[in-house]
Each structure stands twice: as structure tokens, then as C-alpha cells.
Structure 1
């Protein structure tokens, strides 16, 4: 019944869009016929039990404690995706079942131009699989390692796109909680999308039992210290220069990214302290990433994760800006207003607070993704992985680890822990081509003539939770976005306000 409602909803939206557009009756019929063809394909796909054998496994582009990410090609269509493969045994052993479910739910629900797209998810007896959009430009971590630091103009572009991505998930009442450069992926044009390809264990702050709040009142608005924390910094070792700290950070960065401990460098103090936290914790992470872009390393980087956590919790004494970094007053102010108390943190009342900061003066927020990106990665083809780290293939990758031990009886594709994990996005039947009406793509010389492509991009950018995929993305350039649509009386779509906030 739900799938029938979704199908009616897709038809209703498209008919409304076509009715308001300058398209002939013949063209409308062709487009509606194409939608019906795709609906038939989607229905057939829904009946097909997808599995790893439906894909040709290609290059590994990520590996961690829980599994791996690799490039893959769907055998039936030739479409290229990123396949995220997670070990059920590790999810169960480390208590991460809810975390991985939350990731799947977020990617399935949030249909946004700023979030990596999930096409389908499935499972077998040993593994969970996510078939996702492949972004060949690499991630922000790799870019920062290559560039050392960004100029303020370059950083402004990517910080602004990250603001839009965070705002997008917040509109759906999700909290990411672990935003870091590893999770900011770049497409072939250099534009950023938010994902969670980090396969390392989310930081377990129970490993740091002596984390305590600073001795001063949480309500005190104390400026970041320009002097050392004389009470906490007991080492007599000389302070590193910015360049020395940068080199030390880069030496350890990859190891931290793929470790089983994880890196706490971008996590807000209220999360580490296991206090109640809300969406504002993601804006702290944004401040830490912005600092790293401009300085070259995170603001609270230390020799070990425990020391980093202590610095974050005592941020008033440890947030400093090296003079040689030559940050503008506006940049320092924005970072200081993100890396601060929740009560004073920008973004607590909404992303508009951050967008209005003087550092963003002149930023065209509604045109960021139409602009030329600050960097355009080198990409030679759809299978190009040069912007990702190289990983060696193992003899028998992840095939035997879950066949022994206390978790064996729990590892079944019907295991109650993973019921409901399987998902198929309507857009997986999208071959990005409309057969029989390709000639419509050539009719783009009329400046006021709408395009279906832009119509669908508007649907994406509005962040309305259109479930079962942005089917509007699959049609040819012919229509332009008309007036925004109200949900149909029989719509199965719920608004973000109707759902509760979900902690990732």
C-alpha cells in the first residue's frame, strides 16, 4: 500500500509540474510514458532480492575497523557506485547497530543536493551493504593533506557548502555528531557533499573516565586564552611552531582516520562529556574544520586522543591562533563563536546566524553549487580513484571473521537486529537518459523555457523529504521549476516537524 501511494505521489507531482510548464501535449505524454516505464522497472527491482553478486567489485577506496568502501559497477546497467560493506559481527560486538541504522535512515530519508545519495541497501548473513553515489573528487582530508592550508577565499567556499549540508540534515531533525574532513566528499567538479565514509569506530568517550567540565562556570563567556594553560600544560617541552605542528599532524593523520579508536578532534565538548546535546554540536565541528583549513591542523590536536579530549573540554584555555597563520579578524571571530559555549555558539538558533556573519559577506548562498568550485579535482573517467588513498587487496577480504565466536548465531540475514535495513531508492532505475525523446534535450535555446532537470534540482534543493528518490532527476532538460507544490491529499510524505530529532 505504501509503494502504491508513493507511485501515485510521483505521478501527481510530475503532472502538476508539466501542467505549469511550456510543453506540448505530445511531449507531456512521452515524459509520462517514460515515468511509467521507470515505475515498472522499479517494481521489478523491488521484487528482486539484491545481493553483492549484482555488482562487479572494483577498487577499494576506504578501509577501517568495521569494513570497507570500494568502487563497484552494477552488472545489469553498468552504472558505477560506491559500495560500503560493514561486518555485522563487528557492529554487534561493538554495540554499533543503532549507529549504522541511523546512517542508513538518514541517507534514505534526506534527499538533498548536499548529501551523498543512497541508492539501495541490503544484507546477507555476514555483512551490511550500502550502494551509494560515487564522488570521484576524494575527500576534504586528502585535499588538506595536499594543500597544507587553504586561503580564506578557498576555505570560505567549502565552509559555506558545509553549512548548507549541515543545515540540510538539521531540517530533517538529524544530528550528525561526528562531522570531520573525512566525511566531506568532493564530486568531479569539486563541489562538496556530506557523507559518512569513515569506517573507524565513533569515539567512545567512556575510554576517558576522567573527563570533567572546567572548574569555571559554564555560563561564563571567557575569550580564548592567548597564553598557555598553566594549570594543565605541565610539560616543559618547548611549544611547536605552526609548521612543526602541521608536519606532526600530517604524519599521524591517516593512522588516526582509520584507527579503531577514531579521532576526537572535531567533536564538541558536550558530546564528550555525555551531557545532553543538540544540533549545535555540529556547528562546533564546523568551527574545528574551518580552523584546520586555515591553520593546517585542528585547534586541539595532541599526541594522543585522551589529551585532545581534555583540551576540547577545557577549550577556553587551549583555543589559540598562531600569529604566523595570519588569519583575518573576521575569521578568528567566526571560529571563536563556533568553538565556544553552547549558549553563545552561532547556529544554535539556526544556520542563518552563521550565514549572516561578516566573514561570509558577499557569499551567494543560493548559487554556491552553480559556481565554479574552489578546486577542481583531476578526474579522468568514471572509474578514476586517484583522489583516494590506495589500499592493498587481501587474499580473502572479510570472509571468515564472523563464522566463529559468540556472534555466530546472531548473524543471519533475518536477524532481528537488522530487520528493515534493506532499501531501494526509486532513482536506482534512473539511467540518466530518456529513451525516445532525446531530441528534447536539444531544445534549450529558449531562455524562459523550463527544464525538467532544473525542476528536479529545485525539488532537491528545497530539502523537502520526497521519499523513494528524486525521480525528478531522471528526466531530460525541457521544463523549468514552476510554483512549489503542496503535497497531494493522499501524500505519504511527512514533514520534518512531524518526526522527532534523531541522534546519530
Structure 2
């Protein structure tokens, strides 16, 4: 996609701290149109959050990060590939020990039972069906589509802070359940209008009463059958934000003219390669091999900041005492911004100090093969050489997405 020099929307929120309601209305309206456009293309995004909206050079928003996007096709099911990877290793008798935590869990009987159950579920779901020959491609694909459509889009994906209440409840089965009705409280400051409060409450609620397209409610009530939806993606409708758009908080929003309006914030750029709005965001790398440089000692911190008061030195040490990832880094930036008895100059200095002396948290690869020291290098080499083998580009046709020869 195009380069978005204005950074992501979350960074804008962090810098501004609070947006006026009229400003928030503009950006939320553009977000609604972006999500609605994805649904018009028969896809669902599944990871909507401020981080995934980028700001263009003109100040308008574009949606990004389609790693979890899904259009109902079984090839988007990650468990399908996990199954093949597991079966292939078993048949080739390749042992993958993983890292120290994997090896420790392998000695845990309870964990072994959970792993076995998970593997059996994968086998049941993806094992080649009886009665279908290897040459019966049409029957095989029909079985694959019918079987997986019963499961897809019911998995917990996305970012937990932005999930719907009913998904969070499933996520928290083994923890103390939080009741969103009790937790949701409107602050006295900043002021939120009655219309804004009503919109929030009608979005953060049980799905039976949630503000959404009536067509989805009809599906839940069984008033629209699956046969009637076979001609479209079975999960989304085009132009499905009509109920949200008609809420009184959006009164007088020129939906068809938003792209011609001047946004509240326009990036101030020195040139096409200006990256200032990305410098504080950091990068997320689940496969990172970077080694930690270690936490600087209190003496080191005091030596570097010897010209500053002891309280300032102690705060600086607290900020770099623990490793951080991208989310934690943004939390540190908010903590710096709200730190009492610190000047603007001191806050800027603290942010720079964290970047220089803080150390990134080394992320654990999600794939056990990549956690195994012996198998990692070979696996990465093969994946790099074969990543796009057999892939073809796609273009939109009236009947949907079709692979081009």
C-alpha cells in the first residue's frame, strides 16, 4: 500500500492525550467507512484497533494490517497448516525439542494431555476423509469448504483490549470474569456529550442489543438462512454500518464528502522520506533474535544524569528497569507524559533516555520449530526460499476474488 508518513492513529492519540469530540467524530467516521469498504470486498478484518489505522500525507486515515483478514476460505485457517506441519514432522521422524520452556512443559503430564487433545482435534478436523480418492479434487475441496466453514471465524483472534465483551468472556474462562457493565463508567473529565455516551453504551454491550446492521440480528435470530447467503461472504454484508451512521452522534456527518474535507491533523513533513511520526512507535517482530543489552545499573543512570535531581534519576531508572515491547513502550511514554513535577524539556529527555538505555523484550517465536536451536536455521532458510512458490496475484472480479493464471 502507499506509504503513510503520518504514523499510526494510536501515536496521534498518545501525543494529543485527548481529542475534542468533533475531532474524534471525524476520525471515527473515516474508520467506519474503511471497515465498511473491507466488508464490501467480502472480507472481515478481525483486528480493528487504533494502531491499524495509518495517517496519510493529506491527514486522512487508511486501514492496514490484513494479517488476520478473512473471506470465508479454508486456506485462511492457520490450524490447517499447523496440522500439516505436525504430521510432516511425525512422518519424517523429525524431533523438535523447542526451547527450555517447551522441554519443561513436555515433562508436565497435564500439559502432555492438553497437547494430545489439541493434536487429536486437528487430526479429526483436517485428516484426509475416507471415501474420497486423491484424484477427486472437486469432492475434496467441497468437503474442505463445508467442514471448515463450521469452525472458521469462531476462533479468538485480534487484540484483547479491543475485543467484544462476549469474546473476552471466553478468553477469561480460567480467570476472574470482568463484567463490562460494572467496569464501563463515563469520566467527569474530559466531558463526553450525552449523544457520545449513548453511542458508547450502545456499542459496548451484549450483542443482542448492540448497535449494528439489522441484517446481522436477523441472522442470529435465524430469519436469514445460510442458503440465502451463499452468494456472499457468510460473515459480512456490504454497506452494513447504516445503523451506526444513523446514530444521532453522527448527525450532519457528510459521509460522501469526508475524503474532500480537511482533516484536523495534517503531517508536517520535510520531504517524502520524512519518518518523524514513526520514530517513537518502535517495531514488532515476533521472530526477533536481538539480544538484550542488559539493564543499566542505578549508578550508571546517576552518572549519565548527574546534573539532574535525585528524584528525576530514580524515575529514569524505573523506566528502563524492565524490558519493553511496543505496547509497554507506549505505556512508558504515557507515564512520562503524565509524570508530576517534570517540565516539557525533562519529559523529552526521559523519552530519549528510554530509547537509548531501555532494552526491548525478546519475543518468543510462536512456532515451536523456530524455538528449536537445531531446526530453526534450516526451517527459516526453506521458508524464505519457498514462501511465495505457487502463489498468483489476485484481482477483483464481479463474482469475487479469483486467482489469475
For normalisation by structure 2, the TM-score amounts to 0.44
> Which structure shows the bigger proportion of residues in helix conformation?
2
> Which structure shows the bigger proportion of residues in strand conformation?
1
- The higher relative CO (CA closer than 8 Å, separation ≥ 6) is in 1
Higher-Rg structure is 2
For normalisation by structure 1, the TM-score amounts to 0.36
